[in-house]
Amino acid sequence: MSRSVLLPDPAPRSIRVPVISVDDHLIEPPDLFEGRLPAGLADRAPKVIENDDGTQYWLYEGRTYPNVGLNAVVGRARDTWSMEPSRFDEMRPGCFDIQARVADMDVNGVWASLCFPSLVAGFCGSVFMRSDDKELGLACLRAWNDWHLDVWAGTYPERIIPLQLPWLADVEVGAEEIRRNAGRGFKAVSFPEFPAQLGLPSVFADHWDPLLAACAETGTVLCMHTGASAWAPLPSPGPPFELLPTLFPVNALIAAAEWLWSGIPVRFPDLDIALSEGGIGWVPMLLDRVDYVLAHSASGNESGAWRGDLLPSEVLRRNFWFCSIDDPSLVELRHVIGVDHIMVESDYPHADSTWPDTQAVLDKTLGSLPEDELRKIAYQNAAKLFRHPLPPSDDWRHGGS
């Protein structure tokens, strides 16, 4: 196997509007953990191993974690996409190398990016949380966060929004990490949309309040990435693979409904919740439905599950942020949802990715919007939510237009 599976570099696309992508991924490079764990733990950090069959895996605490091919498809011909494990030298370097990534962002007209982990960490750090040795797990999690801040975000601080992984195994330690990380520049945290599916306390308990209070106090955005809890709504056996990604937005829908009814965004009115890779086309349903159910509830607003003076739909519009990848219906839906709470993603380097044509996709789908609305959705809302710098101009890469 070799890099021959990779397509040639694409030419830079013309820029219709700068983009801040709030859902991309990084593939952890093999040297991520080097020099980042305490001496007594360093030799037990995750490491990349070569199998006899030419594939590569991460090894951690005796378990193996492949880099799934479909999670690193950018720059590869469609007929090479698969669920099979992928080698680093079969990936486009932008998957794991920040210099190459920023170059790929420039090609694509993406000013800034929020990058989630890949499978060796779990989208929300669940692999480290599940460590047999919790001290080692916390050390690995901190190493991941340190590397993310120092290397991934630190090399080009204006181009990457720092996203931390949370320590889920102890909510008080986790809350302290949120505060410490906010102090050193992290703006967001990846959090499971259904903690109970990871064996953790349910969102309907008040277990998570200390960590959520730390997020609300520090302005750390809670990013719930579809699938981070390894649960999907698949009631019927035997579906074709395509059903799973078709239903990605349903995780966000159910998560939004659960978190709303949990009362968390009422208890923490300043908590910002971003539904990463959650889509936008279902939001009208939830807006309509939550208020209707409250009005038809046996218990009603006084003694029942809903507290506070606002309607559930008002809290949904206040605390939650939605993410579009390529949704033609957004043009009709945007005012129902709220133009100020819609952001976009390019999902580099997954199979869903619009790279390198994110600009063309946006232009095709949203090009007819008024310029102020287009700019809010493409980057201004994200810059405001994540307190990230705006691009100096539309041609920051000196050559784009």
Instruction: Give the interface with a second copy as residue ranges (CB under 8 A).
Output: 70, 78, 81-82, 194-197, 202-205, 229, 231, 233, 235-243, 245-250, 253-254, 257-258, 261-262, 279-290, 292-294, 296-300, 304-306, 325-329, 332-333, 335-336, 351-352
Least distance in angstroms from the C-beta of 193 to a second copy: 8
Least distance in angstroms from the C-beta of 326 to a second copy: 6
Least distance in angstroms from the C-beta of 383 to a second copy: 25
Q: Give 8 or 237: the residue with its C-beta nearer to a second copy.
A: 237
Residue closest to 317 by CA, chosen among 279, 276, 286: 286
Residue closest to 391 by CA, chosen among 324, 348, 400: 400
Least distance in angstroms from the C-beta of 130 to a second copy: 18
Q: Give 157 or 245: the residue with its C-beta nearer to a second copy.
A: 245
At residue 340's C-alpha, the angle toward residues 155 and 245, to 5°, is 70
Least distance in angstroms from the C-beta of 151 to a second copy: 30
Least distance in angstroms from the C-beta of 68 to a second copy: 12
Q: Give 163 or 343: the residue with its C-beta nearer to a second copy.
A: 343
Q: Give 167 or 194: the residue with its C-beta nearer to a second copy.
A: 194
Q: Give 155 or 262: the residue with its C-beta nearer to a second copy.
A: 262
Least distance in angstroms from the C-beta of 286 to a second copy: 7
Least distance in angstroms from the C-beta of 79 to a second copy: 8
What is the spatial distance between Cα 250 and Cα 257, in angstroms, rounded to a whole number? Answer: 11
Amino acid at 312: P
> For the purposes of burial, counting CB atoms within 10 Å of the CB of 44, is it exposed (0-12), middle (13-18) or buried (19 or more)?
middle
What is the spatial distance between Cα 76 and Cα 124, in angstroms, rounded to a whole number? Answer: 27
Q: Give 103 or 257: the residue with its C-beta nearer to a second copy.
A: 257
Q: Give 88 or 231: the residue with its C-beta nearer to a second copy.
A: 231
Least distance in angstroms from the C-beta of 295 to a second copy: 9
Residue closest to 324 by CA, chosen among 346, 309, 300: 346
> For the purposes of burial, counting CB atoms within 10 Å of the CB of 360, is it exposed (0-12), middle (13-18) or buried (19 or more)?
middle
Q: Give 93 or 195: the residue with its C-beta nearer to a second copy.
A: 195
Q: Give 152 or 355: the residue with its C-beta nearer to a second copy.
A: 355
Least distance in angstroms from the C-beta of 294 to a second copy: 7
Q: Give 164 or 324: the residue with its C-beta nearer to a second copy.
A: 324
Main-chain phi, psi angles of 188, to 5 degrees: -150, 160
What is the spatial distance between Cα 43 and Cα 96, in angstroms, rounded to a whole number? Answer: 22
